[in-house]
Chain A
Amino acid sequence: MDADPALLLKVALAPYAAALAEALYAAVKPRHKLTRGGLACFIAAVALHGASLALDGLERGRFPVQALQQLASMASFFMAAAFLAAYARFRYTSLAVFAVPPVFLLALAGALGAGARPPSRPILQWWISAHAALFLLGYAALFLACVAGVMYILQERALKAKRSEPFSNHLPPLGKLDQIGYSALAAAFVLVTLGLIAASVWAFAKWGPSWIVDPTIALALLTWAITFAVLLSRLAVGWRGRKGARLAIAGFFCAGLTWIVNSGAHTFTGQ
């Protein structure tokens, strides 16, 4: 049987769901510690998911982000990878409680639409593929910063209120969350900057001097500006801790929102 990318993604949903179930259980029962089993399920899911995306890309001969579902699937994969990278570095499984649900939902969205092939359009050039990949990775990093921000706010609130909350024992310390948020933000900034350069090269080649009015570029610029603003507020103004956490959350949602608002103008087929 030929490996079918859509089928692979659907198969990946099973271990994703298992990991999700454990993450949700841990969210309700702070006493429950995430097990190796949950993590193993998640890693298996990510591997299947990655294989599905790679096959899809090979089959089409291009970066497989042309339809909205594919974008969802790709974004979910990158978010999952960002979570695993953060876990490898910081070893806090409690991140999973916040990170796994959106990963699962996006993968589900991707799987539901998978198989419905988008109309055949001119091939995306290399530059625009690079732009898409870099931006998606950037979003994934912003997402991680947002997750760390949410956890920071929960932990900080418990500490300021001087209550002994059971969940607070299972959240990472504030200093670590701040560090995770900052690292993720810095990574997001680098990725988005590179993605912006890639988009500019593509738009300039396509549109010539009027490239700057291209909606792809406008959107990319806006996302870049948001990431830059969040990072700057931290580095230059010294907004860290709660303010930094709030900004990271706001940054992620603003970046997401601008993208949703503009997605009508922003096509993935290079038109």
Chain B
Amino acid sequence: MTIQLVGMSHKTAPVEVRERLALSDEGAGALARQLAESGEIREALVLSTCNRVEFLASGEPDALHRAVMVRFGGSVNGAGSLYHLTGREAVRHVFRVAASLDSMVVGEPQILGQVKEAYQRARASGALGGPLDSLLSTAFRVARRVRNETEIGRMAVSVSHVAVQLARKIFGDLDGRDVLLVGAGEMAEAAARQLRASGTSLRVTNRTFAGAERLAAEFGAAAVPFERLLELLQTVDIVVSSTGAAGFILSRRTAEGVIASRRNRPIFLVDIAVPRDIDPRINEIDNMFVYDIDDLQQVAASNMEARKQEAEIAERIVDDEVDRSLRRLRARSADPAIVSLNRRLETIRRRELERHSAKLRSLTREQREVVDHVTRGIIGKIAHRAIVEVKRGASEPGSGVRPEDVRRIFGID
């Protein structure tokens, strides 16, 4: 019984190759079932996302690779982009994928959900239910552990996400906050969209009112004439600015007036324009927070760096968990031998009791119970050492005894 994995990901194959293997949700579930029914493979799971297609199985060594090559050998021409992992490496890979350490953007949260869905589908189609099943449950636990014990998912790494995270640090809950989008621009619009998704209400202005109306229509927000900018600055909480103006549209002097008339209510000014719209010195004023595109990018970059550091901690967690689950898996590999040993001894006991049933019939009920109890005790004691040794042999290869030795000694076929 070997855990094995065959697959390709964004790291080994371009999308032109990946798409040839990609499967629909139903297709993945059905394929998992087909694989698991093939005899050599006991359990199977198929994960198909836009960044990876992976087949995971427990069964005879190499069985999965052969099955995949039979099915997809033609479409992956020579399979140079396929990886084939077994045992420890396969377990490690599954844990890393679930914990989002193998993702294109390390720490992105979607992959765990995708693995969980693949697991549910494979389970529903009856393709799981053995060591692979418990391995996947462990993978989910490892992913949770990584999430809880590292900061890997908590660091925003895109400019728009950084802007939202900063707004949260200033205001707390963003629900019901007022956002003003000044001017159009891809990144500003992305930031506005993200802010809106966090529950803020959005207003839009532009130097030409027609431009403002066009933007407003796109966002389903209210358009406001540019002349009212100063008035709006007194009430809104967050400004995302991205005009094509040559100079500052908000000077430090004006800003001082703005914060006074706001009675020091904090305001977050996000300046995504180049050349800049907002005088950076406004950041020196209390309760006014100015971030320009470089500031945001710098936060994103240092978060990215921090994610890498966190990823190292996560890798250590994964290594630790791989060791543990391999130990568990190995210990469980002795289970079938132990079960048959117990069954064998119990059969012997029953047979012997039956053989002497005529003589035992004269015993009282209590006496028969004593005989039953004593014989059980004897086979238990005989089995005990054998079980201990076969378990030791399973968890520390080279020591103890092998399952087949136990089978031979006790005549189990």
Smallest Cβ distance from B411 to chain A, in angstroms?
54
The smallest C-beta distance from A222 to any residue of chain B, in angstroms, reads 28
A243 is contacted by which of B150, B168, B286, B298 (Cβ under 8 Å)? B286
Docked CA distance A147–B23 (Å): 56
A173→B264 CA distance, assembly (Å) = 16
Q: Are B291 and A175 in contact (CB under 8 A)?
A: no
Stretch at the interface among A66-74, A109-117, A233-241: A233-241
Q: Any chain B CB within 8 A of the CB of A97?
A: no
The interface centre, meaning the residue of B155, B169, B283, B299 with most chain A CB atoms within 10 A of its CB, is B169
What's the least CB distance linking A168 to chain B, in Å?
Answer: 7
Q: Give the complex CA separation of A65 and B330 in angstroms.
A: 66
Q: Are A174 and B169 in contact (CB under 8 A)?
A: yes
A175 / chain B contacts, CB cutoff of 8 Å: 170-172, 266
Distance, CA A242 to CA B289, complexed state (A): 12
Query: Quick one: which of A166, A173, A238 contacts B168, CB cutoff 8 A?
Result: A173
**Which of A81-89, A156-164, A260-268 is the interface stretch?**
A156-164
A159:B171 contact, CB within 8 angstroms: no
> Is A242 within 8 A of B299, CB to CB?
no
Chain B 282-295: CB-based contact to A (< 8 A → 1; otherwise 0): 01001101010001
Using Cβ atoms and an 8 Å threshold, which residues of chain B touch A239? 264
Interface residues of B in 353-368 (CB under 8 A from A): none
Cβ of A169 within 8 Å of any chain B Cβ, yes or no, is yes
* Residues of chain B with a CB closer than 8 A to A172's CB: 172
Asked if B243 is at the interface (CB within 8 A of a chain A CB), the reply is no
Q: Do B170 and A173 touch (CB < 8 A)?
A: yes
Contact of B264 among A162, A174, A176, A240 (CB under 8 A): A240
A169 to B166, CA, bound (A): 10
A76 sits at the interface (CB 8 A):
no
Is A31 an interface residue when CB atoms closer than 8 A count as contact?
yes
The reply on B263 being an interface residue by CB < 8 A is: yes
**A158-193 contacts to B (CB < 8 Å):** 159-160, 162-164, 166, 168-169, 172-176
A159-B166, A164-B306, A169-B154 known; A174 and B295 CB under 8 Å?
no
Given contact pairs A164-B299, A164-B302, A242-B286, A174 touches B151 in the complex (Cβ within 8 A): no
CA distance A94 to B168 in the complex (A): 17
Chain B residues, Cβ within 8 Å of A129: none
Indicate if the CB atoms of B283 and A155 lie closer than 8 Å.
Answer: no
| B303 CB–A CB distance under 8 Å | yes
Cβ distance B285 to chain A, nearest Cβ, rounded Å:
10
Q: Which residue of B lies closest to A163 (CB)?
A: B302
Interface residues on A, range: 20 to 34
Give the contacting residue for B289; candidates A31, A159, A164, A243; CB below 8 A: A159
Interface contact A160-B303, CB-CB below 8 Å: no
Encode A175-218 as 1/0 by CB contact (under 8 A) with B: 11000000000000000000000000000000000000000000
A166–B306 touching, CB < 8 Å: yes
B283 contact from A160, A169, A242, Cβ within 8 A: A160
Residues of B within 8 A of A159 (CB): 166, 169-170, 289
**CA A248 – CA B64 in complex, angstroms?**
68
A169-B154, A173-B169, A175-B171 are known contacts. Are A162 and B298 too (CB-CB below 8 A)? Answer: yes
Pick from A164, A238, A241 the residue with the most CB of B within 10 Å.
A164
**Cβ–Cβ < 8 Å partners of B168 in chain A:** 173
Decide if B287 touches A242 in the complex (CB within 8 Å). Answer: yes
Minimal beta-carbon separation of B289 from chain A (angstroms):
6
The answer on a CB contact under 8 Å between A162 and B299 is yes
Q: Are A162 and B169 in contact (CB under 8 A)?
A: no
Return chain A residues, CB-CB under 8 Å to B169: 155, 159, 168, 173-174
B153-191 interface code vs A (CB 8 A; 1 in, 0 out): 011000000000010111110000000000000000000
Decide if A169 touches B172 in the complex (CB within 8 Å).
no
Q: Would B172 and A240 count as touching, CB distance under 8 A? A: no
B306: which A residues are within 8 A, CB to CB? 164, 166
B286 partner residues in chain A, CB cutoff 8 A: 241-243
Asked if residues A241 and B287 are in contact (CB atoms below 8 Å), the reply is yes
**What is the bound-complex CA distance between A164 and B264, given in angstroms?**
25
Q: Does A238 contact B264, Cβ atoms closer than 8 Å?
A: yes
The CA of A31 and the CA of B266, in the complex, are separated in Å by 28
Contact B151 A31 (CB under 8 A): yes
A240 in contact with B287 given A166-B306, A174-B171, A175-B172 (CB within 8 Å) = yes
A173 in contact with B172 given A162-B299, A164-B306, A238-B263 (CB within 8 Å): yes
A208 to chain B, nearest CB (A): 46
How far is it, in angstroms, between the C-alpha of A243 and the C-alpha of B264 when the chains are bound? 10
Determine the chain B residues whose CB is within 8 A of the CB of A168 once the complex forms: 169
Q: Which residues of B contact A (CB under 8 A)?
A: 149-151, 154-155, 166, 168-172, 263-266, 283, 286-287, 289, 291, 295, 298-299, 302-303, 306
Top 10 nearest A-B pairs (CB, nearest first) are A173-B172, A238-B263, A241-B287, A175-B172, A175-B171, A164-B302, A176-B172, A162-B295, A238-B264, A240-B264
Q: Given contacts A164-B303, A238-B264, A243-B264, list 10 more A-B pairs with CB under 8 A.
A: A162-B295, A162-B299, A163-B302, A172-B172, A174-B171, A176-B172, A238-B263, A239-B264, A241-B287, A242-B287
Interface residues in chain A, defined as those with a beta carbon under 8 Å from any beta carbon in chain B = 31, 155, 159-160, 162-164, 166, 168-169, 172-176, 238-243
